[in-house]
Each structure stands twice: as structure tokens, then as C-alpha cells.
Amino acid sequence: MGSSRAKRLLSGGSLSLKTSNKIVRQQLYIKQKKAVGKARHEERHRRRKEEAKDPELRRRRLEKNQPASIDKKRIWDDVDDDSLGAVVDVAEVKRRRLERAEAAAAAEADAAMGTADVEKEKDDDVDSMLGSDDDEEDNEKGDEETEQMQRQRAQRQPSIAPSTTSTNLDLTPDSLAAQFKYLFSDEPPPMPKILVTTGINGTIHKEAQEIAALLPNATYIRRSAHRYAHKYSVREIAKFAKNRGYTALLVVHEDLKRPSQLSVCHLNSGDAPPGPTLTYTIRNYLPGKAIPGHGNATNHYPELLLNGFKTPLGLLAAKSMHMLFPPQPELAGRQVVTLHNQRDYIFFRRHRYVFREARPTEKNVVGADGREMEGVKGIRAGLQEIGPRMTLKLRRVDKGIGRAGSEGDDALKWEWKAKMEKKRTRFNL
């Protein structure tokens, strides 16, 4: 009788229809809550017993029990276009092109093989008097080899996209590399030398110095705030910096005496014209001293992690940040800078790490498939944030030195607009 009443309580009927007495409704609600909790407890206990006998059931449940987040509902443009501004997965586009090329090559091979078989049949008809059992055996071997080749072609090639969220700059489309040929050059990149400054009459010198300390070989120079001093433009500063061997210029703008905008202008080396310039907005800036338990940075070259950049525009932003750091980090310093893109927001973090043994209460490292990773069992990485901490969002991509320094019809390569966020599941990076 109790079980039938619990089923009635679990049926979801409105308690207000059962009685008009408030006290009785409260008692019914308590009974319903207890019945629901008891049913869930019994279900978990039963499932735990079944999964202890068959671990495959637990693996299937965990694979199926994936949260329906906005990132997993992300939509892509259904086009075979990898130009700047197209919202396509570069790895997926390249994989489809490789599959089409392999299918075309397989079709040509089959056609050539069919032509060879027809010619061989004609020769066999002419020399039919000389046929023997050896020819039949050779034909059987040839058929087996043909079937084996067809089976190998039918096997799907593994995806060239990495299994983690790390960004692979080798997937850069040829159209993007041709558009920004000085940024995506085949030659080894030079050692970065960066000039950091503020806007006209800037007052956030301490924040700008902290941003300059993030980048190796960076120098901070104040822009004069004197009333009679010459107000140098960004183009004049870029010309000054390039003549002195600087490879990039960073301009930190402010709003209400807080960093609000960051412009990254690549000056390029030699006789190459400067550009492009990527403009970001800065949100949630937090200096290193304001982070609880923060650490102090050293002069070692940090490691760079670029996560979540998948579109051509995302690869451009990732390559732009990649050029600001030396190509060979100093692992002895155990410092890492992370640029993690999620929903077009780039989270900038800097940590110091150390490897230690895992505590008895800690679990092993789990990969993207939910299984424990081999070779790292019993190892843990302890992190200490150094700072500063900020969130960037890409707003503009100009051909030359900012908006005023870009010339030509294609001076503006890309610009963020408000209508781009009309669909919450469509992202640009």
C-alpha cells in the first residue's frame, strides 16, 4: 500500500488539488520529498551494484551523460570556405578536402586498374590456347590484392584535429597565409622585441608596466602628458619602433583609470610593411598583487598554451599572440601563459607549476574520453597564479597600423558587430 501511495506522490500531481488545508499540504509535500529521495537512493544503489559487476555499463552511462552546454550546441557555417570571417572548423574543412582528394585518387586508380584488366582479358582471349592453372592462381592473387586495397581505402582516416583543445597552427588555410604573408611566413620567426605604451595622456602606467612584464624582451615607454609636449601618433611611434628593431607595438588604452583596450600592431622585419593590427577590449583586469596566494614572476621565457582557436579568424588571433613570445621557452622557469578561447572570450592567465605526487584522496588524470591517461598516474601538477588576470575580446582586424594607418579598399579585414551575437550558439573564434 505504501508503494502505491509513493507512486501516486511521484506522479507529479498538484498538491493544491488534494486538500485545502495548509498543514495537510505541508505534510503531503514532506512525504512526497521523502518518497522521491528514497526512490533516487534505491536507483543509485541498484545501479552501483550492476556497474560493479559490469564496468562497461558505467562507461556507457558516463559517455551518454554529457551536459548540453552552449559550446556543444555550437553551429558552423555549412560552406567550404576557409577565408577570414567564415565560421568554419578549419580542421574539419581540411579533413573533408583530404577525403575528397583520396576518393578522387582512388577512383582514378580503379579506372586505371579496370583498363588494365580489360587489356589483360583481350590478351588472354588471344592466347587462350596457352592458358593453364597457373594463370587462374595469378588471377585469384590479383583479386585478393585488389580487395585488400579497396578495404584499405574504405577505412576512414583519423581526424587531423587534435584530441585536446590545443590549437594547431599548422592547419592555417592557404588563403589566410597569403593574406597575411608576413605574419604566416615559412621562415623562422625572429626573437620578439616589443614596445608597450599607453594612449595620449595615459595614467595607467603601473598596469601598462605589468602588461609589459608579461612579455619577454618588452620595453615600456610613457607617452608624454605635458601640455606643451608633442603628441606623437601611433604611426609615428610605430615608425620609431621599427627603426630600432622592434617587432611589435602594444598600445594600452584606459577608461576610468582602468585598462579597457589593447591594440597589437605587428611591425614585421626588413622592408615588409607593418600590419596587421588586432584590437581587443579588456575586461575584468586584476593585477597580480590582488590575486590571493599569488606568486612572483621570474625572467625565464614562459611556455605558451593556445586553446580553443578553431576558425580562420581564431587562428589569426592565435598566431598574433604566438609571435609575441619567444619560440623556445625556458622550461627551468616552470612558467606558463595560457590563452583560452571560450565563446569568443579569450581568458589570459599566467601560472607557475610544479609536479608532485598525488595524495591518497586525489584521483588520476582523466583524458577527454573519460579514461585515465597512461604514464601520468600518481602525478599531480600544483599551480600558483602569478597574474595579471584579464579577459580579452577581439573587436577589429586592420591591415596596417590601426584604423587611421590602414590604406586601400581592404583596409578593414574584420570588425565585430552587435548582430553577430544574435545567435548565442554561433561564435567567430
**Ordered DSSP codes for 148-198:** HHHHHHHSPPPPSS-SSSB--GGG--HHHHHHTTTTS-SSPPPPP-EEEEE
How many alpha carbons fall within 13 Å on the CB side of residue 231?
A: 7
User: How far is residue 93 from each of residues 97, 153, 217, 270, 358, measured CA to CA in Å?
Assistant: 6, 20, 37, 34, 41
Task: Provide the grid cell at 9.
Answer: 506522490
Question: How many C-beta atoms surround the C-beta of residue 124 within 10 A?
Answer: 13
Model confidence at 150: pLDDT above 70: no
pLDDT number for residue 154:
36
Question: Tens digit of pLDDT for each residue in 56-73?
Answer: 998 888 888 888 888 888
Task: Provide the grid cell at 275.
Answer: 600590419
> Where is 378: in which H helix or E strand?
none
Band of residue 92 on the pLDDT scale cut at 50, 70, 90: confident
Task: Provide the grid cell at 96.
Answer: 573533408
Q: What SS3 class is residue 254?
A: strand
Model confidence at 115: pLDDT above 90: no
Helices (H), 304-393: 312-322
What average pLDDT score do residues 342-366 get? 86
Q: What does the alpha-carbon distance between residue 354 and residue 356 come to, in Å, rounded to a whole number? A: 7
Cβ atoms of residues 238 and 277 within 8 Å: no
CA-based nearest residue to 282, from 348, 233, 234:
348
Model confidence at 10: pLDDT above 90: no
Map grid coordinates 607593418 to a residue. Answer: 274
Between 121-125, 218-222, 239-243, the lowest mean confidence (pLDDT) is in 121-125
Q: Does 276 sit behind a cis peptide bond, omega within 30 degrees of 0 on the bond before it?
A: yes
Q: What does the alpha-carbon distance between residue 352 and residue 331 come to, in Å, rounded to a whole number? A: 11
pLDDT number for residue 345:
94
What average pLDDT score do residues 75-98 get? 86
- Give the strand pairing for 194-198 and 248-255: parallel
What average pLDDT score do residues 412-418 get? 89
Residues contacting residue 400 through CB under 8 Å, at least 6 positions apart: 273, 274, 275, 276, 277, 406, 407, 411
CATH architecture of the domain 169-366+375-418 equals 3-Layer(aba) Sandwich (3.40)
Cβ atoms of residues 240 and 249 within 8 Å: no
pLDDT number for residue 403:
80
Task: Provide the grid cell at 69.
Answer: 552546454
Question: Tens digit of pLDDT for each residue in 18-61?
Answer: 678 889 889 999 999 999 999 999 999 999 999 999 989 988 88
pLDDT number for residue 2:
47
CA-based nearest residue to 344, from 254, 397, 398, 421:
421
pLDDT number for residue 129:
46
This model's pTM is above 0.85: no
Task: Provide the grid cell at 140.
Answer: 585469384
Q: What does the alpha-carbon distance between residue 383 and residue 202 come to, in Å, rounded to a whole number? A: 34
State phi, psi for 391 to the nearest 5 degrees. Answer: -125, 125
pLDDT number for residue 410:
77
What average pLDDT score do residues 387-408 get? 87
Model confidence at 167: pLDDT above 70: yes
Helices (H), 54-156: 55-64, 90-126, 133-154
| Inter-residue long-range contacts of 290-297, CB under 8 Å, 24+ positions, other chains counted | 290/387, 291/385, 291/387, 291/389, 293/384, 293/385, 294/384, 294/385, 294/386, 294/387, 295/352, 295/384, 295/385, 295/386, 296/386, 297/213, 297/335, 297/350, 297/386
- Give the strand pairing for 218-220 and 194-198: parallel
User: Bigger pLDDT: 132 or 417?
Assistant: 417
Band of residue 136 on the pLDDT scale cut at 50, 70, 90: low
CA-based nearest residue to 347, from 384, 311, 376, 305:
305
pLDDT number for residue 78:
84
Cβ atoms of residues 223 and 249 within 8 Å: no
pLDDT number for residue 280:
96
Task: Provide the grid cell at 406.
Answer: 590602414
Model confidence at 297: pLDDT above 80: yes
